[in-house]
Amino acid sequence: MSTTSASLEPTAPADVPPGPRTPGRGAWARARRAALPFGSLVVFLVLWELLAASGTWSATLVPPPAAVWDAFLDVSTTHDGMRGYNGTTLVEHLGISLRRIALGAGIGIAAGVVFGLLMGTAGWLRSLFEPWITFLRTLPPLAYFSLLVIWLGIEEEPKVTLLAVAAFPPVAVSTTTAVTAVPKSLIEAARALGASRWGVIRDAVVPAALPETLTGVRLAVGVAYSSLVAAELVNGLPGIGGMVKDAANYNNTPVVLVGIIAIGVSGLVIDGLLLRLERVAVPWRGRA
């Protein structure tokens, strides 16, 4: 073909790539997208302030936004010789908890991916493990936390284990689904190149299952996050969940709210990062 490549140049209209996608929908739409969440936040703060000022409930139950802001400053700095909350600043509490999540969810996700791959490729393994994983998934983390404390004590082990156990099922389930849903056509395409069974898994099954697996990872991190306070119920200080639990014991509602907001905001940030990772790692999602 090389001798006649000039005639093969894809110049005919039938053989040219599709044109670039249409540009954004304009500045107005973008401004509205940014303004709406911000506006709702402002409205929420105003309603909160009004509710607190109305005196319907005591300040212990519904502290005004300003009190929560003060609590935020208190737990973030050293004041009157007290460092943060219980000797640890908010950022440090958060950092310790994030480390627990990274470790626990990391272990759970790794195990979930391995189990998902095995269950997706071998039907009998799926029949063997699926009921157990479904059982585990329906259990609220608090249900097995006491057991973990009996077994593993009150140090890091039960907390990390709880987060791992909570993160495991969503990844295992989504990876299994993803692997079983890999198009047969791609598996055959790999075989047509001479791929062995292992080669097919490495070059077709794993990458094809990646988008949905990453969705499972995001889900798992979310579940681990929502189990954080449970994980830090016993001996959770320092730790953001432990801080919430401890402040609640003293009816310190502003600190409880600071802790909840910190958990929520950091969760949003992490989800945003995972979403970005997903976009970078699987740019073909929805395109092919």
- Per DSSP, 204 falls in state I
**Residues in 61-100 that interact with another protein by CB under 8 A:** none
> Is residue 12 a contact point for another protein (CB under 8 A)?
yes
Burial annotation 54-70 (CB, 10 A radius, 16+ → b, else e): eeeeeeeebbbeeebee
- Per DSSP, 79 falls in state E
What would the x/- binding string for another protein be over residues 192 to 211, using CB under 8 A? xxxx---x---xx--xx-x-
* Cβ proximity to another protein, 207 vs 272, nearer residue: 207
Residues present in the chain in total: 288
- Select from 8, 61, 128, 268 the one that contacts another protein (CB under 8 A): 8
> Is residue 49 a contact point for another protein (CB under 8 A)?
no
What would the x/- binding string for another protein be over residues 166 to 195, using CB under 8 A? -------------------xx-xxxxxxxx
> Is the Cα torsion angle 54, 58, 61, 63 positive or negative in sign?
positive
Closest separation in Å from C-beta 129 to another protein: 27
* Cβ proximity to another protein, 17 vs 55, nearer residue: 17
> Is residue 287 a contact point for another protein (CB under 8 A)?
yes
Q: According to DSSP H, which parts of the chain are helical?
A: 5-8, 27-54, 65-76, 90-121, 123-138, 141-152, 156-180, 184-192, 197-200, 206-226, 228-231, 240-249, 253-281
Q: Which chain residues interact with another protein by CB under 8 A?
A: 1-5, 8-10, 12-18, 185-186, 188-195, 199, 203-204, 207-208, 210, 282-284, 287-288
